[in-house]
Structure 1
């Protein structure tokens, strides 16, 4: 009898597997995570007053924030301002040199913010000439720093910036970096625009490296604008989501398959308050 019950339980578990319950139906929204934003998006607004900027952010419907306390505001005060507006802070950032030299300080700051993730968005290198030596330095810093962060209950993620797609071996230096970092200590955040800018295919890379990806930065790139491997371009090339070159339906489809939980809009243009409502409306319009 006991064996029969066990078989029944296993059969039911198979019937209601997570993959089955998450199966998408025609008409389901493609945006299936809370609406998040990266702090840099509101760089012009923080200067005019943090509470006022957060009011705008709340009115736009954002409920997740990636960043730290703006200059002149204490961590505790900022956390309260966020909480009062129903905004959580799952992720913050760090500079490469601090991660390399004092990862414990990075962990302590993240814990003070209540962040689960710490991302690093830049590896030092000569502009346009990211090399294997640069990648090797990053691999060491990421593996060692990522271990310290994990020991403190924090997940480290590297934010892809586009210059890593220099050819190397049978792939790119980005492939080399991913293959030589420990997945226990180093996760990935894809900035879809910078990935595209450097010659990568965002949807294909999401599929290739699967669960290594834990979050996205969402932004679009002006159609026909020049691209290179510097990881740098002007604000005029940042356009509202859906108006540029990026294939967001393909990106979101792959992101949902690997259950990415956090997506942050990052607008680097000069007219963010005009562009953001268009980006949000576009994201919400996407359906299976």
Structure 2
């Protein structure tokens, strides 16, 4: 049976403090959800500039980084189905990312698109595919799998025949 889960990012405005987070997670469970996809920048304290830029981009910014997500998720009876992170964090320390994912009981780490890549540039997409393969191999060595969460930006054309997404599908190794 499939696991019904919600991305933490979608709940950003109702996770601003411990009481809100508890109530929101309980409401998710009561509504029939089994899990949550945690977002790295929402479960760790973030700096002022990141917070400011995130808010300026119209994305939810709460104070969830100051909460004990291990305890909150457990208390709500939810499972963590994946941990979203950025490629830079994974490249800096894949073991730490893998260890954190495992601490939440998940074997999936998700890289989210739309972050610092020029999806209209063919060379950038070839480089991104290579970086994803390397990151995926590093996670696999730690017993964790890498997933990629695409958005509309990957559908940009990089040349007359191909879109960014085509390159990512063709050049990323499914084993990673």
Q: TM class by shorter-chain length?
A: 0.7 to 0.9
Deviation at 1:159, TM superposition (A): 0.7
For 2:94 and 2:38, locate their aligned partners in 1 and report how far apart those are by CA, in whole Å: 17
Deviation at 1:118, TM superposition (A): 0.5
TM-score with structure 2 length normalisation?
A: 0.75
SS at 1:124 equivalent: coil
Deviation at 1:108, TM superposition (A): 2.1
Contact 1:94 1:119 in 2 (8 A): yes
For 1:82 and 1:178, locate their aligned partners in 2 and report how far apart those are by CA, in whole Å: 33
Structure with greater proportional helix content:
2
SS at 1:175 equivalent: helix
For 1:88 and 1:36, locate their aligned partners in 2 and report how far apart those are by CA, in whole Å: 9
Instruction: Map 1:54-203 to 2 at 5 A.
Output: 54-68=25-39, 69=43, 70-74=64-68, 78-122=69-113, 123-126=115-118, 130-167=120-157, 168=159, 170-185=161-176
Question: Can you give the 5+ residue segments of structure 2 that lack an aligned partner in the other structure?
Answer: 44-63
1:22-61 Cα deviation digits (max 9, x unpaired): xxxxxxxxxx623210001111111143212222222222
For 2:25 and 2:155, locate their aligned partners in 1 and report how far apart those are by CA, in whole Å: 36
Match of 1:38 in 2: 7
Contact 2:35 2:81 in 1 (8 A): yes
Question: Considering only aligned residues, what root-mean-square deviation do their CA atoms show, in Å?
Answer: 2.0
Larger radius of gyration: 1
SS at 2:128 equivalent: helix
Deviation at 1:169, TM superposition (A): 5.6
- Give the ranges of 4+ consecutive aligned residues of structure 1 lying more than 6 Å apart after TM superposition: none
- The 1:96/1:143 distance shift into structure 2, 3 A limit, reads same
Deviation at 1:65, TM superposition (A): 0.7
TM-score with structure 1 length normalisation?
A: 0.48
For 2:94 and 2:103, locate their aligned partners in 1 and report how far apart those are by CA, in whole Å: 14
- The 1:169/1:180 distance shift into structure 2, 3 A limit, reads farther
